[in-house]
Amino acid sequence: MRLTIRDLKEMKRRGEKIAMLTAYDYMSAKILEDAGVRLVLVGDSLGQVVLGYDSTVPVTMDEMVHHIRAVVRGTRSSHIVGDMPFLSYQTDHSDAIRNAGCLLKEGGAQSVKLEGGRRVADTVRRVVESGIPVMGHIGLTPQSVNQLGGYRVQGRTSRAAEELIEDARALEEAGAYSVVLELVPAALAGMITERLSIPTIGIGAGVQCDGQVQVFHDLMGLFTDFTPKHARRYADLAEAIKSAAAEYISDVQDQSFPSDKESFDMNESVLTELAGEPSG
């Protein structure tokens, strides 16, 4: 059985920290679940780390559904959260409900995530009332990066901090089962975490959050354009892959690959028969 939103709330109550990672394909999702990750986000960050876009803004519903399906196929017990892409929920409530439902019905996700605080609280309420669990997302909201003026820490002034606290409360009151805090000062994130009854999931928001989420490609050293300050590299897979590929190229060129071990034989009598046949 997959992890449920009730399980996540119980983890907060017990003080058990929640480890969440992104995944965008069947194999990475399978590996993460085998490692013990039970909360997986199919984030619109796939636009940058998988599809090569310069931001999350161009990501479409079709792209999200495609990747969510792959991740769902690679898991059995993980709770899969599907990101709602830019303009899939900002236009009106009907669009938000329809698109959120699509990520569950067609993609197979168990819940959705959308960005914003008080300004989307009514949308969150409507989506939740339709039977779709919602994870909120405040602080740095990448879909609004053009409006925010870049990827910057949010909530550093007293007014901005108060607004984030109000945003978090509004999402909880609207029925969100959890909220992501991105690029929020650690002390402020701790304050928000203490005041909410729902779990907070931090990314660049300090250790006091109820859980943490990171981008798979950042942790594994696969995304080499830059390394965010909030990410810790647990592996350097890009270098390992480059080294392996270079070794393969060398083996092909010097004919040490494929060897007899990677080749298949055939019956000698058949070879003899073929050798005796006239060509043409």
Of the listed 129, 182, 194, 239, which one is catalytic? Answer: 182
Contacts of 119 (CB under 8 A, 6+ apart): none
- Active-site residue 182, yes or no? yes
Give 162-203 pLDDT, tens digit per residue. 999 999 999 999 999 999 999 999 999 999 999 999 999 999
Q: What is the pLDDT of residues 76-90, one digit of tens each?
A: 999 999 999 999 999
Report yes or no: 9 and 177 within 8 Å, Cβ to Cβ.
Answer: yes
Q: Give the chain's domains with CATH numbers.
A: 5-238 (3.20.20.60), 240-276 (no CATH)
Mean pLDDT for 56-67 is 97
Percent of the chain with pLDDT over 70: 96
- Report helix, strand or coil for 81: strand
Question: Model pTM?
Answer: 0.94
Which distant-in-sequence residues (6+ apart) come within 8 Å of 148 by Cβ? 140, 141, 154
Whether residue 193 contacts residue 150, with contact meaning beta carbons closer than 8 Å, is answered with no
**In which element (H, E) is residue 245 found?**
helix 237-253
**Residue 18 token pair:** 């929640």
Residue 227: per-residue pLDDT = 80
pLDDT band with cut points at 50, 70 and 90 for residue 150: low
Q: Alpha-carbon distance 55 to 147, whole Å?
A: 13
Nearest to 114 by CA among 167, 159, 150, 37: 167
What's the burial of 74, exposed, middle or buried (CB within 10 Å: 0-12/13-18/19+)?
buried
DSSP 205: S
- pLDDT tier at 276, thresholds 50, 70, 90: confident
d(CA 209, CA 183): 12
